[in-house]
């Protein structure tokens, strides 16, 4: 069972006969071809490697001339064939390069982007780094081999908080992926899609999915969804090593449509909050049946039921089924005190969402009235924030609260509901 570690209050034909000799020749040719294809397939699958998720060393720890990073700063890649396989990101296991040999000039431009603080001091270093990035982009398709060569190594250089603020990128890989997106065209799309098929970095998968959507709308959504599915399967037993996987749920929710409801329901036992938040945000209420099953399934586990009820409360002004489920469970006193603490503020108008979004702004306003952030022991992070409700939405919630008060005789539940009613009444004024 996951537990909440911290809660802070603030303001994704017909056959023909072939002579025996020709049969033998054809069989031999087929065997050789099949063997070659098997070798290529093996090489490709070996790039889908599951690696540990160590922190990337800060960029400033490396000398300006260094162009590779130690093994312990490798970016994880994934393997659908063997999620537990561990290999180093060596040239033998790097992504295959289908472009010409990079030129010395473009290699040098890429190398210079691995460190942003080697250009000088103060604002000059950021300006010089940005100019260098644009020089690389101006090379157009000619720059792609050098960029893909670096991305194929699955190593990275972190820019740290100062770099993010000065440059707008968290690392060299994110900058070079964005360079591909800026270059555009078939070669850049192929390079981006290659990385998407192999990386196991949640933020990177979300970034690649969005870039490909902009370059070729709707053409790569299934690839993005599959990348998120595979990565979640790999990370299911190593949640605390993987960093924040919230971007993977955003990819499923935004690009998977109603088809991913079953996927989200399946992983709810591992990521109860992330899965239920994504289910609640599927288009046209496609996630509501899954939320109902999770909330009413006694074998789902208390954390899953709690998170599901919270999201059903959030959807209660849109879904009659959500309201009916809440009333049924309240009437049978099947909602715990802990769950009422989660549900009551949402009935009063709070909206729950992912804290580490790769699609929306990653930074919440520093001072927002009623903002609450929560982190759990199994590496899930989300926030609750008072939403702007229409009069109709507020009235539906007030009506539901009155119905819940009539349905339950639990003193704790009644007190929580009365507080929700009071808060909602003030907001509706």
pLDDT in tens, the chain (429 residues): 555 555 555 443 333 333 343 344 333 433 444 344 344 334 433 344 443 333 344 443 333 333 333 333 566 776 433 333 222 233 333 444 445 899 999 999 999 999 776 544 567 888 889 999 999 999 999 999 999 999 998 889 998 888 888 899 999 999 999 999 999 999 999 999 999 999 999 999 999 999 999 999 999 999 999 999 999 998 877 766 668 999 999 999 999 989 999 999 999 999 999 999 999 999 999 999 999 999 999 889 999 999 999 999 999 999 999 999 999 999 999 999 999 999 999 999 999 999 888 987 655 555 677 888 999 988 899 999 888 888 888 999 999 999 999 999 999 999 999 999 999 988 765
Instruction: Output the pTM of the full model.
Output: 0.80
End-to-end CA distance of the chain: 40
Q: From CA 268, how far away is CA 279, in angstroms rounded?
A: 10
Q: From CA 212, how far away is CA 124, in angstroms rounded?
A: 32
Torsion sign, CA atoms 195, 201, 207, 212: positive
Helices (H), 152-245: 160-167, 172-183, 185-196, 202-215, 221-235
Question: What pLDDT is recorded for position 3?
Answer: 53
CB 199 within 8 A of CB 208: yes
CB 55 within 8 A of CB 243: no
C-alpha distances in Å from residue 79, one per residue of 44, 48, 199, 219, 286: 10, 3, 9, 23, 30
The ranges assigned to domains in the chain are 54-163+171-199
Residue 36, both tokens: 């070659």
Residue 50, both tokens: 């599951």
* Residue of 112, 171, 179 whose CA lies nearest to 148: 179
CB 314 within 8 A of CB 351: yes
Q: From CA 181, how far away is CA 195, in angstroms rounded?
A: 13
Question: What pLDDT is recorded for position 357?
Answer: 87
Question: What pLDDT is recorded for position 239?
Answer: 66
């Amino acid at each position: 069972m996951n537990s909440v570690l911290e809660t802070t209050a603030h303001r994704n034909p017909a056959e023909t006969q072939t002579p025996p000799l020709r049969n033998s020749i054809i069989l031999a040719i087929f065997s050789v071809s099949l063997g070659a294809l098997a070798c290529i397939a093996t090489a490709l699958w070996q790039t889908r490697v599951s690696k540990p998720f160590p922190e990337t060393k800060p960029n400033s720890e490396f000398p300006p001339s260094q162009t590779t990073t130690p093994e312990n700063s490798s970016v994880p890649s994934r393997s659908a064939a063997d999620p537990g396989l561990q290999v180093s990101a060596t040239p033998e296991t790097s992504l295959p390069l289908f472009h010409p040999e990079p030129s010395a000039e473009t290699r040098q431009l890429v190398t210079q982007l691995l460190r942003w603080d080697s250009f000088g001091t103060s604002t000059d270093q950021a300006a010089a780094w940005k100019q260098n990035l644009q020089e690389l982009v101006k090379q157009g398709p000619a720059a792609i081999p050098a960029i893909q060569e670096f991305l194929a190594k699955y190593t990275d250089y972190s820019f740290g908080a100062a770099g993010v603020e000065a440059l707008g990128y968290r690392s060299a890989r994110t900058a070079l992926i964005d360079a591909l997106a800026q270059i555009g065209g078939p070669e850049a799309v192929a390079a981006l899609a290659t990385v998407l098929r192999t990386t196991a970095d949640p933020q990177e998968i979300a970034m690649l999915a969005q870039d490909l959507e902009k370059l070729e709308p709707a053409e790569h959504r299934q690839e993005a969804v599959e990348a998120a599915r595979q990565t979640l399967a790999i990370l299911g037993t190593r949640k605390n090593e993987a960093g924040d996987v919230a971007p993977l749920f955003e990819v499923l929710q935004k690009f998977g449509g109603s088809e991913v409801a079953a996927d989200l329901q399946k992983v709810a036992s591992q990521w109860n909050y992330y899965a239920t938040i994504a289910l609640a945000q599927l288009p046209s209420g496609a996630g509501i049946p899954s939320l109902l099953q999770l909330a009413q399934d006694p074998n789902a586990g208390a954390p899953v039921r709690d998170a599901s009820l919270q999201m059903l409360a959030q959807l209660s002004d849109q879904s009659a089924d959500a309201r009916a489920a809440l009333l049924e469970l309240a009437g049978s006193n099947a909602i715990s005190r802990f769950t009422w603490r989660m549900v009551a503020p949402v009935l009063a108008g709070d909206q729950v969402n992912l804290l580490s979004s790769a699609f929306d702004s990653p930074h919440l306003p520093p001072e927002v009235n009623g903002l609450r952030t929560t982190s759990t022991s199994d590496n899930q992070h989300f926030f609750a924030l008072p939403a702007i409700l229409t009069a109709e939405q507020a009235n539906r919630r007030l009506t539901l609260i009155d119905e819940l008060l009539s349905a339950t005789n639990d003193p704790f539940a009644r007190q929580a509901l009365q507080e929700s009613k009071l808060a909602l009444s003030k907001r509706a004024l």
